């Protein structure tokens, strides 16, 4: 086992990874930018190194500097968290070259799944059901319109390298796609340095349901059930839960087996997530694979009792998986909400200084917090400032606890999406499990516009 790990991330996820390292008796090294000198993860780690200026390109994405710090501090492994360098093949390669273990899959698997087009090819070969669409990059908007026509509208235009809901757009007709193509391609180029675009069928009134897998380096692979993450804004998740209120036992097991097959077919190792889009008839289709720890991993931990970060570290250290499929149980119901520093009406980021903070406390609440009173929320990073997770015996219990927790949660100085989350959680349609990906559009925005 490693004796020291560097965490190449910031915010709540850096703090969360450090917590598991501490439980395992592993020393931790934090990195921080000039904007994060008094951030929680810096205080929690055994050592902390300044990595550069606030801008991510000069700090949390500075591969050479991070490797240098790892060497200097004697860290034997690097946990990349999510976002930032977690799915960056150059970084995984740089770790390999420096003789440092990258806690994640191999760089070629990251590259394969990092391109949604390449991932679709691999999954098709493995016999995993795909959303109907193409597996190559479009030349231009005219080809996009032609292809969309042949697939049949409505379609989703997507950036092959996209993430966080960026670079995708629904098109209902040729005009839509002709208008949307170049803008989305530019955004994809700006954000991901890759303008490759493709189209797939838009699945209507769908649910986003994903399967967590764990695989060791010897091919042993298990699934840790599903998470439903259908409640989204701007195609990005804001409420996640496990189990899904929509799935029956048969579909759940089938999805789990398909996810394991998918992971095995690409020689996957470490923790990963196969995302599926599920239609009204419970047909499920591969969306993408995330080759890293997922933001919403806590809900799975809450119902299975497993620590996914600990599993990641053990796998990276070369241990064989100790858990067998039949050992993985499911207890109770867990819900996570992502708390963003953003305007609850427009969903635009709302940076500023937090001048008052009161958080709910209770035995069934797990709170992943990246801020404190007087924290300055800067525009340099993702505006997610905390994750609130509750556990209940039943879904109803969990919803009630979440509702109460959100009522008690007070942040002043910046705008947050807490009022929006409260409306979602308290909505009768949520209680009924009408959790399609257009929930926010259908129930929340409509209500706002009626006022």
E-only strand ranges, 216-342? 221-233, 236-242, 270-278, 284-290, 333-340
Minimum CB separation of residue 83 from ligand ADP in Å reads: 3
Among 292, 314, 338, 395, which one carries the catalytic annotation? 292
Choose the binding region for Mg ion from 148-156, 271-279, 313-321, 422-430 (rule: CB under 5 A): 271-279
188: contact with ligand ADP by CB under 6 A: no
Of 81 and 243, the one with the shorter C-beta distance to ligand ADP is 81
How far, rounded to the nearest angstrom, does the alpha carbon of residue 91 sit from its chain's CA centroid? 19
288: contact with ligand ADP by CB under 6 A: yes
- Which one of residues 227, 237, 252, 415 is an interface residue with ligand ADP (CB under 6 A)? 237
Lookup: tokens for 315: 């796998």
The closest of 128, 131, 81 to 260, measured between CA atoms, is: 128
- Asked if 192 and 163 count as a contact pair (C-beta separation under 8 A), the reply is yes
301: contact with ligand ADP by CB under 6 A: no
Asked if 292 is an active-site residue, the reply is: yes
How far, rounded to the nearest angstrom, does the alpha carbon of residue 377 sit from its chain's CA centroid? 21
Minimum CB separation of residue 56 from ligand ADP in Å reads: 9
User: How far apart, in Å, are the Cα atoms of 57 and each of 85, 86, 163, 241, 393?
Assistant: 11, 14, 18, 33, 44
Looking at residues 361 to 390 of the shown chain, list those that interact with ligand ADP (rule: CB under 6 A).
382
- Which one of residues 131, 263, 303, 341 is an interface residue with ligand ADP (CB under 6 A)? 131
Minimum CB separation of residue 87 from Mg ion in Å reads: 11
Is residue 225 reached through a cis peptide bond, with omega within 30 degrees of 0 on the bond before it? no
The closest of 377, 378, 359, 376 to 368, measured between CA atoms, is: 359
- Which one of residues 174, 235, 265, 378 is an interface residue with ligand ADP (CB under 6 A)? 235
Q: How many other C-beta atoms lie within 10 A of the C-beta of residue 413?
A: 18
Looking at residues 274 to 293 of the shown chain, list those that interact with Mg ion (rule: CB under 5 A).
275
15: contact with ligand ADP by CB under 6 A: no
Looking at residues 163 to 182 of the shown chain, list those that interact with ligand ADP (rule: CB under 6 A).
163-165
437: contact with ligand ADP by CB under 6 A: yes
SS3 46: coil
For 435, what's the count of Cα atoms within 13 Å in the CB-facing half-sphere?
30
- Asked if 214 and 403 count as a contact pair (C-beta separation under 8 A), the reply is no
48-59: b (≥16 Cβ within 10 Å) or e:
bbebbeeebeeb
Minimum CB separation of residue 164 from Mg ion in Å reads: 8
Lookup: tokens for 235: 């195609």
Binding mask 239-278 for ligand ADP (x = CB under 6 A): ------------------------------------x-x-
Report the first-to-last Cα separation within the chain, whole angstroms: 58
Of 87 and 301, the one with the shorter C-beta distance to Mg ion is 87
Minimum CB separation of residue 247 from ligand ADP in Å reads: 16
Interface positions with Mg ion (CB under 5 A): 275
Interface positions with ligand ADP (CB under 6 A): 82-83, 131, 156, 162-165, 200-203, 206, 208, 232, 235-237, 275, 277, 287-288, 290, 294-296, 382, 437
Residues assigned a catalytic role: 292
């Amino acid at each position: 086992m490693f004796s020291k790990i560097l965490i190449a991330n910031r915010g709540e996820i850096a703090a969360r990874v450090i917590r598991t390292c501490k439980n395992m008796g592993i020393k931790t090294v934090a990195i921080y930018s000039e904007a994060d000198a008094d951030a929680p993860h810096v205080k929690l780690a055994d050592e902390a190194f300044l990595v550069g200026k606030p801008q991510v390109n000069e700090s949390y994405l500075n591969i050479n500097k991070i490797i240098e710090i790892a060497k200097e501090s004697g860290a034997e492994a690097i946990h990349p968290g999510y976002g930032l360098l977690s799915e960056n093949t150059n970084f995984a390669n740089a770790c390999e070259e420096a003789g440092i273990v990258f806690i994640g899959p191999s760089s070629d698997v990251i590259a394969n799944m990092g391109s949604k087009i390449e991932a679709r090819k691999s999954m098709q070969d493995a016999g995993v059901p795909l959303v109907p669409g193409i597996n190559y990059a479009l030349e231009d908007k005219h080809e996009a319109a032609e292809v969309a026509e042949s697939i049949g509208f409505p379609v989703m235009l997507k950036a092959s390298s996209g993430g966080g809901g960026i670079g995708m757009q629904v098109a209902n007709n040729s005009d839509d796609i002709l208008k949307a193509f170049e803008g989305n391609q530019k955004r994809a180029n700006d954000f991901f340095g890759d303008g490759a675009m493709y189209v797939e069928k838009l699945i209507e009134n769908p649910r986003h349901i994903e399967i967590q897998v764990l695989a060791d380096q010897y091919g042993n692979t298990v699934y840790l059930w599903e998470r439903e993450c259908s409640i989204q804004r701007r195609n990005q998740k804001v409420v996640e839960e496990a189990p899904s209120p929509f799935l029956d036992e048969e579909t759940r097991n089938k999805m789990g087996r398909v996810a394991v097959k998918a992971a095995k077919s690409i020689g996957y190792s470490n923790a990963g997530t196969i995302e599926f889009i599920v239609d009204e008839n419970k047909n499920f289709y591969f969306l993408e694979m995330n080759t890293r720890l997922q933001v919403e991993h806590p809900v799975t931990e809450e119902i299975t009792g497993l620590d996914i970060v600990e599993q990641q570290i053990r796998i990276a250290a070369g241990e064989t998986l100790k858990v067998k499929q039949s050992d993985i149980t499911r207890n109770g119901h867990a819900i996570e909400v992502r708390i963003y520093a953003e305007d609850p009406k427009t969903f635009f980021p709302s940076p500023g200084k937090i001048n008052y903070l009161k958080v709910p406390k209770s035995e069934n609440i797990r709170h992943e917090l990246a801020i404190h009173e007087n924290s300055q929320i800067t525009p340099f990073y993702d505006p997610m400032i905390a994750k609130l997770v509750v556990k209940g015996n039943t879904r109803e219990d969990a919803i009630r606890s979440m509702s109460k927790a959100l009522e008690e949660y007070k942040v002043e100085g910046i705008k947050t999406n807490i009022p929006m989350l409260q409306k979602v959680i308290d909505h009768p349609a949520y209680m009924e499990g009408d959790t399609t990906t257009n929930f926010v559009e259908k129930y929340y925005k409509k209500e706002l516009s009626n006022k």
